[in-house]
Structure 1
Amino acid sequence: MLLHIPNVLTKEQLIECRKLLEKASWIDGKLTAGSQAVNVKSNLQLAENDPLLKYLREIITSSLKANPLFVSAALPNHIISPFVNRYENSGAYGNHVDNSILYDATIGKSYRTDISCSLFFTDPQEYEGGEMVIEDTFGTHEVKLPAGDLLLYPSTSLHRVEPVTKGVRMVSFMWIQSMIRSAWKRSILFELDNTIQSLRAKYGETQEAVNLSIHYHKLLQEWAEI
């Protein structure tokens, strides 16, 4: 499932984050790349021990947990501590697949990467190039989202960031270990939840909506790994 989630960050949060990021110190992004990605990664990144990253992680994680659409789609068991990167001067990230297991240094534990996310700090008109290109069973998708919006996609997808030929592209990236390991089952639950919410919005708390909600929670209980 490829999903665009708007307004994960508020305008006030964006303004604050952008001011902080403009003054940030950046390191070579290759320092945190895996064995496959290190040869195709050319960008800058906030260091893991940077106090700014710790502050931004708190903002991002709390915003995600408070976003109903994200929670419905991801059904997160754990959000691996986000990172922030910067692309400029033809910086790019070639074709790669994210590692299936990642270590979260903040927690001191390894987690499955079921879902990958990119949260944009810069608007599309602020840079040229830099498209996020994702390949899945339904074809190839090019994405450039407004600042504050998030792209959610399966971690098993082949993806890349095209070279940024002008301006600066700043994005936070993170991975989710979902309560539901199967992407197919997550999709079923997401569609069912959307249907329930749509029925409630149109007709109120009907018996049909209640019945569907019961089935939703039965499936969640049956499939969840926590």
Structure 2
Amino acid sequence: MLRFMFVGDSMTIGSAGEHTWRYRLWQHLCGSYGRPFTFVGPRETLHDRMTDAPTSYAYAEPGFPRAHLAGWGEGWHHMTPLIGAEVRAHRADVLLVSLGLIDLGFYTNAEQTDDNVRAFLAAAREANPRVHVAVLPVLHNIRVDADPAFAEQVDHFNELLAKTVAALDEPRSPLLLVPAPAPYDFHADTYDGTHPNESGEHRVAAAFADAMDEGWGLGGPYAAQP
């Protein structure tokens, strides 16, 4: 059985009442992969925005493997110390990673964030030398649109991320840079300028699905419409 682990921030954990793009990808893989698979990780909840805590099980559709490693306000800075132990504990085969917005906004600059990416990949590979990792760059959001200095850091990090993925890719443990969803408009595809709404969930899921299909021959092209 192939074990996928989502590693992400608030865009991936989602909040109470949402489907999440994790659910959208599960729907896609159920129809396209054709082999046993599941989602793994140490967490299952959504973020409850009323209490500002990851305590909600109120998924719009709870009937799917909800395990993940994602957290509201977490980034590479937070996940890098955790990833080795979690890959080992949950025997993850494929990591689907969407991180970086929080790092650049609060913790590290582009170069420091890229250092954490490299440390993250090293730790994941130490835990599973054959782990596959698909990484989404930081998406354009409302702060990128409004803050030129932040936008410069995001652009710089995304360039560094592309170079790191290309430099560290290897046949035994392949890395995949997931192209940003196209189209993706934070005015239309998020509910607050950052977090995906229904169309945004589909677009993020489609970006990962299509990249895995084209890069690894894993699953087919994403068929659902936003």
TM normalised by structure 1 equals 0.29
TM-score, normalized by length of structure 2?
A: 0.29
Bigger Rg over Cα: 1
Q: Which has the higher contact order (CA 8 A, sep 6+)?
A: 1
Greater share of residues in strand: 1
More helix by share: 2
